[in-house]
Structure 1
Amino acid sequence: MLALPPENCSFQSLTSRGSQALDGSGVLLLIILGKTSLNLFVLGMRRKMVYQSFLEYFSISVAVIDFTLLATLSFIAYFEDFALWDVRFTKYHMCLFTQIISFTYGFSHYPVFLVAGLDYYATVSRTSRPPPAGQKLSYAVAVILIWISIFFYTLEDPTTYSSWTARGDVYFYQCPFYVSSQSYRLSLAILLVLFSVLVACWSEIVALIRSTRIASYMNETVLFFPSAAGHAQAGISRKQLSTKLTICFLGTWAPFVFLQMLLLILDARVPAYIEMNVPWLYFINSFLIAAAYWVRRPERRPTETAFSTDPFVSWEFCFVPFTEPEGQAEKPLSVITC
């Protein structure tokens, strides 16, 4: 179980054996503050006119939990030792609460990845807006159920504490934090997929990049790919689609991909409460959308609303030419907005 203090061990004896745990509370607060600020910054930077999806709701829930954790730890750090509803809170609980969050975050990667993947597989080829009330309610219920299930699993599983030794725990001023193997394996799998696609489609990627020009489109500076128009009438093969999807994905997430590579090469042990963050979730979001597009590859060309699922990546380029709904003029979208 979690690292609770023994019943016969007073708080004074705990601090005498691990006084550094208390000294690290300020640094812990700064880390949580930095992560919370990053979450809010990314949420503020995303496009507003996008479809509601499961990962969108889950990303918001992570930002809310991080903000709640920050407020709780700040309250404990300020009052240091107080009682609330007959429960005594000390700086030790800053470590305890962060441990619980670390386990909960660390066990959430697989279920979130699976549910989000099924969501996009079922909805990526839609061409009209879904019923907003039912769609939003189903996503909200799914997010709540996942959090509740993982939270109770964290508290009740007797092997939770022993799992610290799976990849090694991280001690931060005598406070151990869980390092998730799930995020490590997901990062490795995504990098392997990207590497395989780059190797298989390298010649197409190089040719497409060489044909790129900077142009102006609707008063915006865009990257224009004239060679993409050659596939307009004949359709697009899976290899061509893989090339376009990879360019669109790396055009936005290349720095994050390099960061993941660096973490894997250095075998950096990042605590789970830091690894689960909003940028990571949107990175996963874009990867799953690309995978769903590649797997489904709808024969009927999707309308413009079908691309409004990603707050950061413009996937329109992958399906040129693109036809507006009836009554509107046809316009080719072989551009990526800079």
Structure 2
Amino acid sequence: MTALSSENCSFQYQLRQTNQPLDVNCLLFLIIVGKILLNILTLGMRRKNTCQNFMEYFCISLAFVDLLLLVNISIILYFRDFVLLSIRFTKYHICLFTQIISFTYGFLHYPVFLTACIDYCLNFSKTTKLPFKCQKLFYFFTVILIWISVLAYVLGDPAIYQSLKAQNAYSRHCPFYVSIQSYWLSFFMVMILFVAFITCWEEVTTLVQAIRITSYMNETILYFPFSSHSSYTVKSKKIFLSKLIVCFLSTWLPFVLLQAIIVLLKVQIPAYIEMNIPWLYFVNSFLVAALYWFHCHKLNLRDVGLPLDPFVNWKCCFIPLTIPNLEQTEKPISIMIC
């Protein structure tokens, strides 16, 4: 964990301005702009008819915090040196604010993961049924509480405070915190996917070979043959696991490969970049698949209100459905929306 308070940040970059082709503050600005564009693209691509859940609210809050950070950086870069509410702001505050955000993002992975797990378990078991407006308020205040709690921890931890206070006038960079939480979370999910794939690789291979691409209801879809039995209740855990893997990897395979490379090479990515909306939706899909797996003994895909994923249509993957006028369709098939 490294962080550097840049009390003399503006001074040091003015001294080295002729030696650096791009100011670090400008580089931070460009990175945050790119991240916000990625947030907008991801939020625009997600399905709009998904049900309310904690992860959706947290993704929106993360996009808002990224936008707020960009506004602060833009204002400081434009005015360079100004006083607001008796506080003097200079270019070194860009480094300081981004470091605080990095620490905050870095400590959010476990709380968000655990809260999303609890949320899905409660929704699936239907132990609590709140009115729609009460549910929205509950998610809103839960997200606010998590942000305030983690930020208070970051600002109140003596070790982090000393790191932020440390001065190094000769440093040419503004180091940021690299989250160990995200590394172990990625390691945990990649290993589970690897073990699950090895366990039922023959079934996965069979399903992949049977997959075909067609158009259905103005959407490009993948489909594969469904078992001949008419029951909608999951009977074989191994076959069900293989279908979960196919559905998950059909959407998230590039992201899984990227996470595997990061874990194997131990790539250090600053926390303010690593905590992003695509990563959160990837975790969300993993949690939904895990929920289906652990509750497969009581999973009735026709009757139960299943959690809806913004990117993977899990329910359509396993409901038998016959597509009219589809060539060589002799059996009911399972639809998987791309």
Matches within 5 A, 1:1-338: 3-4=4-5, 23-124=23-124, 131-160=131-160, 173-226=172-225, 228-233=226-231, 235-297=234-296, 299=298, 301-303=300-302, 306-307=305-306, 309-321=308-320, 334-338=334-338
Change (3 A) 1:321 1:95: same
Runs of 5+ consecutive residues of structure 1 not aligned to the other structure = 165-170, 323-331
2:183 alignment partner AA:
Y
Q: Distance in 2 between matches of 1:243 and 1:12?
A: 55
Contact 2:4 2:174 in 1 (8 A): no
| Pairwise CA distance, 1:118 | 1.1
Q: Distance in 2 between matches of 1:235 and 1:180?
A: 38
| Pairwise CA distance, 1:236 | 2.6
| Pairwise CA distance, 1:231 | 4.8
Change (3 A) 1:13 1:255: closer
Q: Distance in 2 between matches of 1:172 and 1:205?
A: 52
Contact 1:82 1:90 in 2 (8 A): yes
Change (3 A) 1:65 1:173: farther
TM-score in terms of structure 2 length: 0.85
| Pairwise CA distance, 1:212 | 2.0
Runs of 5+ consecutive residues of structure 2 not aligned to the other structure = 165-169, 322-331
Contact 2:155 2:161 in 1 (8 A): no
Number of residue pairs the alignment of both structures matches: 319
Q: Distance in 1 between matches of 2:171 and 2:37?
A: 21
Contact 2:51 2:308 in 1 (8 A): yes
2:217 alignment partner AA:
M
2:289 alignment partner AA:
A
Q: Deviations over 1:122-166 (max 9, x none)?
A: 21366xx962112111111110000000001000111226789xx
State the superposition RMSD in angstroms. Answer: 3.0
1:249 alignment partner AA:
F
Q: Distance in 1 between matches of 2:6 and 2:337?
A: 55
Contact 2:3 2:175 in 1 (8 A): no
Contact 2:234 2:300 in 1 (8 A): no
TM-score in terms of structure 1 length: 0.85
Change (3 A) 1:283 1:72: same
1:154 alignment partner AA:
V
Change (3 A) 1:26 1:215: closer
Contact 1:232 1:320 in 2 (8 A): no
Q: Which moved more, 1:155-164 or 1:305-314?
A: 155-164
